[in-house]
Chain A
Amino acid sequence: MLGGELVGLVPLQTTDELALYKWLNDPRVRKASGRQTWKPAYSLEQVQDLIKERLAQPSRFDLMIVDRQTERPMGLIELAHIQPMSDSAQITLIWGEKGDDEMATEALILAAGYAFNSQGLHRLWTRVPAREKDKLGLFRKVGFEQEGSLREDHFCEGGWQDSVLLSLLSAEARPC
């Protein structure tokens, strides 16, 4: 486990299916992702398939966020599109349960530390729906800088919505 004071990060496993089943079927979590490929509903069998597919992909690494006090899974951090040539990856935070910002912030700092120090990455980038002000605030708090915006890149709440692109370089990362 990558351990912080409030949360720990553990690699996604097939035994995490029930937590993922709950989050993937939560409309609040789906909307916050701004991800058009996110289905409106997942069966348990589909979640099992999804975990297996993720575990088989060498270009991604998924980390479950666990509350250190209760050992309850709180969310997921995805490191995807890991590109060895550019030492970069996309980081996505999926916050499944109700928790405080401190936990999410620590989870992001731990994940960034893992990406830069253990995986040797140089750059992390993320895309956050512009309307998700709290999530944008979290990434900025961890040191992510805004690079630009993707205009009307996804459809939600009856209209096309913008997303914000942010990145963090290894030299800018806060120590774990």
Chain B
Amino acid sequence: MLSGEIVDLVAAERAYVPMYVKWINDPEVTQWLKADPPFSVEMEHGWVDRLRREGKTTFTILTKDGRPIGNIGMEEVVWKYRRVTIGIMIGEKDCWGKGYGSDAITTLLRYCFEELGMRRVDLITDSENHRAQHAYKKCGFRVEGLMRQYRTKNGRIIDDVMMSILSSDWFSLHPPEGRGA
């Protein structure tokens, strides 16, 4: 488990599948995501089993009282370059805009930079998802560029934004001595 200020990150598992199905089939939740619903319970069980088989690091985000509210994951890890691509979804809509996503990202970044020694963490997001970009910037991400007509969703051609944070960015925001290390 990784422990943040207001969330904990635990392993994705079958016990949470009913929540995953609810979130991933909600058009408001998936509006900005790559995922295209519908998804069945069996498909989500298959997804959890695949994560387990392939050793992928995907977490379910829990509030401190144990309520599952979303997922965050290390989607692609390239050890050779110490680079990782992450993705996040807050599925419980009443938890939007309350800092849970930012805390989950900060917790995962701390793990990536301080425990794994990653050099770079990146993500891509819909260019029109300004709220998410604002939240990522607050966590230390910078916009690197626009990926023009990168994908389509619901008949719309989408430009994605590539954002990243480097180890040097992280440690300038979170100096080790300031954290009592």
Contact = CB atoms under 8 A, between A and B. Distances in A.
Bound pair (A, B): yes
Interface of A: 25-27, 31, 36, 39-46, 49, 155-160
Interface of B: 1-3, 9-15, 48, 52, 55, 57, 59, 111, 113-117, 171, 176, 181
* Residue picked from A39, A42, A155, A158, most chain B C-beta under 10 Å: A158
A68 to B, nearest CB: 29
A39 B12 CA distance: 12
Contact of B57 (A39, A156, A159, A160): A39
Given A27-B2, A158-B181, A43 B11 contact: yes
Contact of A158 (B10, B59, B176): B176
B9 A49 contact: no
Contacts of B13: 43-46
Nearest to A155: B117
- Pairs A-B, 9 closest by C-beta atoms: A43-B13, A155-B117, A43-B11, A41-B11, A25-B1, A158-B114, A158-B176, A157-B181, A41-B10
A40 B12 contact: no
A40 B1 contact: yes
A159 B11 CA distance: 25
A160 B3 CA distance: 22
A78 B134 CA distance: 47
Contacts of B14: 43, 45
B2 A41 contact: yes
Given A40-B9, A45-B14, A46-B11, A26 B1 contact: yes
19 contacts: A25-B10, A27-B1, A31-B115, A39-B11, A39-B55, A40-B2, A40-B57, A40-B115, A41-B59, A45-B48, A46-B11, A46-B13, A46-B52, A156-B115, A157-B115, A158-B113, A158-B114, A158-B171, A159-B176
